[in-house]
Structures are given as structure tokens and as C-alpha cells.
Structure 1
């Protein structure tokens, strides 16, 4: 396990620009052992709820429809804290904490 992936402005842009219906930024799980891994964007309905860091709807509520890079960067520390907590909870649930 390599540790919590770092959320970047590019991750938030990928979420906001995703063509998926109701996309979410989430922590991918290893198919073999369920360990948490990288961040990805996919349709919220198709990913495990407990891995979701942020949905597009939440991002738009937080940042507006067309946020600047500076606005996104300003919220990254709080989002990273959320991701760290989600990652730790996943790791603990599978005994990798």
C-alpha cells in the first residue's frame, strides 16, 4: 500500500469535465485484495459509495460551474483531508491500517 493519492487540480478538472452521468472522484480498489489505490473518475452509481471523495454536484456546489485554478487549489487541502480519511477507513476495514 503506497498511501493516500494526492488530489490535484487536474483531478478536480477531470471530475468537472467528465462525460459520465453523475461522475464521482473516488479511490480505486485493487481487484484482488481490495486495497485502496489511485484516484479515478467514473459514474457515481458504478463505484462503491464508501470510496467516493467528491461528486461533480458537490464540486459545483463548492466551486461553482466554471472555477478558476486558484479556486480549486484553495479547496484542495480540505479535499485531501477527506481523501485521507476515506483511504484510512478503507485500509482499516481490510486490515491494512
Structure 2
């Protein structure tokens, strides 16, 4: 599905991108950029796919970032802070 079809599917459900942005606490431009495929956001993409009752992989079939499994590792909490500290130290050494 391309960006125009995504917009049409959302409109068919009776919603505007502005309403969705307000409900998600995001800017209209951010939501619009996700719909158009210019910006990647799993959370927004999942919300949009939920609105139209489709899996995100199908709703964003033309966007590789939603259809290709990610090899990235999500690090949270203390482990994330430790990684950030490591990077800060690395960057300060490079200066």
C-alpha cells in the first residue's frame, strides 16, 4: 500500500491525520511523515495500522523498514544509561 492509499484508508475510517496526531500526542507533520514513508516510527505505524485493522507489514508494505525484521537491540534502563556513558566517554576521548 502506498502513501495515498494509506491516507484514503484512514479517511475511510472517518479520521484525519490531525485527529490521529492529537490522540497520539504527536505533531501533524510527524504523523504525516510516517504515513508518507519519510519518517520511521514503530509506535505511530502500529497505531495507524490498528485504525484500519491491518497488520503493519501490510499497511506499510512499500516501506522496507516495517517489513524487514530489525537486527537492532533495544536497551533500556540502567543498561541504556551505561551505554550512553560509554559513548560519552568515547566521544570525549576523540576530541
Structure richer in helix, relative to its length = 2
User: Larger % of strand: which?
Assistant: 1
Same fold, judged at TM 0.5 (above): no
Which structure has the larger Rg over C-alpha atoms?
2
